[in-house]
Amino acid sequence: MEPLIIGVAGGSGSGKTTVVRHLIDTIGGDCILLLQHDSYYRDLKHLPFEERTRQNFDHPSSLETELMIRHIKALKEGYQIEIPIYDFTKHVRKDETRIAEPRDIILIDGILIFSEEELREQMDIKLYVDTDDDIRLLRRIQRDILERDRRLEHVLKQYEKYVRPMHLEFVEPSKRYADIIIPHGGKNEIALDMVNALIQEHLT
């Protein structure tokens, strides 16, 4: 049986990770494989560090989506894959990879996963986590400083120059492809219960 592929999209800081964690906790981690589009950011080790920090990481071309699509197709055919490991503090791929086996459910998350047709076509259920922009920005500032080793000034500059315009150009319009829009972020219990029921139905 081919795996059920569920896409979780939404702007930066919208709460995709919370939705994904909730699904893994309720359905059970053993039958789920999480594939994050973030793992497929292109390796920038050929550029000096300063130049890497100035890249537009919110444009679809910054991700090796073609490799992710190959991986999803391989999983559907029953093959294992080697997922790249991305380092957000240095903007490079690590030398090591993570081996992953096919599972009954494959969860895919990322800001841009609905904006590429071929990737979109791989998904059976598409969820979009919709969260107010001010809340997303607050979460992003906190996350980037605490987890990605960034300075406030840089986070704000990057947001204004790239994150916001790319969100308006690519992420927000891709909401139209969603089967279900989850308002108020990842802690929306009612929406998550509905999504769970839908998945259980698909599995039985």
Could you report how far apart the first and last alpha carbons of the chain are, in Å? 12
Nearest residue (CB) to ligand CTP, 58 versus 116: 58
| Phi, then psi, of 124 in degrees rounded to 5 | -90, -35
Nearest residue (CB) to ligand CTP, 76 versus 143: 143
In the complex, what is the shortest distance from the CB of residue 140 to ligand CTP, in angstroms, rounded to a whole number?
6
In the complex, what is the shortest distance from the CB of residue 10 to ligand CTP, in angstroms, rounded to a whole number?
5
| CA distances from residue 115 to 8, 112, 169 in whole angstroms, order as listed | 12, 5, 10
SS3 label, residue 131: coil
111 binds ligand CTP (CB under 6 A): yes
Q: Which of residues 44-83 bind ligand CTP (CB under 6 A)?
A: 57-58
The radius of gyration of the chain's CA atoms, rounded to the nearest angstrom, is 17
Alpha-carbon distance of 48 to 193, in angstroms, equals 46
User: Which two tokens mark 173?
Assistant: 């319009």
Q: Which of 9, 13, 107, 178 binds ligand CTP (CB under 6 A)?
A: 13
91 binds ligand CTP (CB under 6 A): yes
Q: Which of 15, 75, 107, 191 binds ligand CTP (CB under 6 A)?
A: 15
Point out which residues pair with 107 in neighbouring strands: 6, 34
In the complex, what is the shortest distance from the CB of residue 117 to ligand CTP, in angstroms, rounded to a whole number?
20
Chain positions contacting ligand CTP, by CB under 6 A: 10, 12-17, 38, 41, 57-58, 88, 91, 111, 139-140, 163
